[in-house]
Amino acid sequence: METLQSLIQIIVLLFVTLGVIAAVELCLYWLLFFFRRGFLFWIVTLLGGAIIGFASELWLGSSGSQGLGNLSRFLNPTLWGLGTSFFAAYLSRFFIKGRHSLAIMMLAPAFIAVSLLVLYPFLFQFELAFSNLNLYTINAWKAGEPLKWVGFKNFEGVIFSNALLQTAGFWDLLLRTFLWTAINLVFHVGLGLGLALLLNRKLFARGFYRMLLIIPWAMPQIVAVLAWRGEFHPQFGFVNIILEWIGMGQVNWWSDPLPVFISCCIVNIWLGIPFMMIVFLGGLQSISHSYYEAAAIDGASKWAQFREITLPMLKPVVVPSVTLGTIWTFNNINVIYLMTGQDGGKEYADILVSALYKSAFAYSRYSFSAAFAIVIFSILIAITVIWMKISKGTESVVGNR
């Protein structure tokens, strides 16, 4: 019976989604193709916006709009429907004027979906960050009570707390996150570039080597990490067996602070090298051999060719891949979460995002976690801007034109 109910809910959701898409396309068709109708155009557009807004208000009222929290006090759907329809009509009549109609109608559903799935949660997170939602207040919030405004208290708690987790504060976690990102990125880029240079040469069974080296990246990450966790088992793991065989003795990879962090770095390095290798290999294969032939005729050494030709020509590949690698590594919770034993694991390898996860889902500090997420987002934005400035990633290989 529960399966049937779930199936019915999925079908209803599907039809509602199709109905919303059809309504959006119908509204756009009217706006884009009937904008010359004068007074009738404005009347129908505003009336349609009012109807859509009123229907949304009824739906939100019947569904108990606690999901909007304090924002619901500032969101009157009817007024927003009128305002949005007027703004859309103004754009259509005086700016768009029927141009790019097909492209707009094709992109609109995706734009609305992204706005609902990304923009609304992002804005709601800001509301949570300035409120007091936690394990003690969540039931009252679900019952319809507004969240209490606490100002910047959550942000102060994130940045100036001496014990963000049980043993680590914000600045300890930030330093460890930078160290984690730098170590992984250096090995990802260095070893990835080295393997790409090797695979770009004429080798026997080169295709087989490429397939073999891409396996860590193609494998589901949870499978790979859990397999590696078994290899780092203090008593039965293959790593300690090798260490004993060469006379170094066993290492407690699961509980000692430094070995826990090192094991997480080793696993993440192993997982990330294939991506960089494939990206750099594609960049190397796009460089014309005529550059190297001309340099060889001029007497340039292999190192000089690499420094003056390969690296500059790889810049359009290196800059975005390093940017993505930095963001992915900075936000990579999977390896640390699985290697340290999930929620109850050791905190010696925790970075900012894993501490954020524990704050939200282990300690139920929802507003605090929202503020924590905004702080992490701001740090990433700052790192990206600084890196783009330093690397001049927006410039052409041959300079600005």
Q: What is the pLDDT of residues 331-380, one digit of tens each?
A: 988 888 888 865 445 677 888 898 888 888 888 888 999 999 999 999 99
Q: Which of 113, 129, 145 corresponds to the end of one domain?
A: 129
- Measured CA to CA, the distance from residue 253 to residue 47 in angstroms comes to 67
Same domain, 98 and 177: no
Q: Note the pLDDT of residue 68.
A: 47
Asked whether residue 145 is domain-assigned, the answer is no
Which range of 21-25, 96-100, 218-222 scores highest in mean pLDDT? It is 218-222
Question: Within its chain, how far is the Cα of 163 from the centroid?
Answer: 26
Q: Is pTM beyond 0.85 here?
A: no
Is residue 184 predicted with pLDDT exceeding 90?
yes
Are 306 and 228 contacting, i.e. CB atoms less than 8 angstroms apart?
A: no
The mean pLDDT value for 128-143 works out to 85
Q: Note the pLDDT of residue 396.
A: 55
Asked whether residue 142 is domain-assigned, the answer is no
Same domain, 319 and 173: yes
Same domain, 63 and 24: yes
Are 192 and 280 contacting, i.e. CB atoms less than 8 angstroms apart?
A: yes
Q: What is the pLDDT of residues 204-260, one digit of tens each?
A: 777 788 888 888 888 888 888 888 888 888 888 888 888 888 887 778 888 778 888
- Measured CA to CA, the distance from residue 330 to residue 351 in angstroms comes to 8
Same domain, 123 and 194: no
Q: Note the pLDDT of residue 394.
A: 60
- State the CB neighbour count (10 A cutoff) for residue 336: 26
Widest pairwise Cα distance in the chain: 89
From residue 320, how far is each of 278, 298, 368 by CA, in Å? 14, 32, 32
What would the DSSP string read from start to end of 272-300? HHHHHHHHHHHHHHTS-HHHHHHHHHTT-
- State the CB neighbour count (10 A cutoff) for residue 180: 24
Q: Note the pLDDT of residue 206.
A: 75
Question: What total number of domains does the chain contain?
Answer: 2
The CATH number given to whatever domain includes residue 163 is 1.10.3720.10
Domain membership of residue 238 as a residue range: 158-391
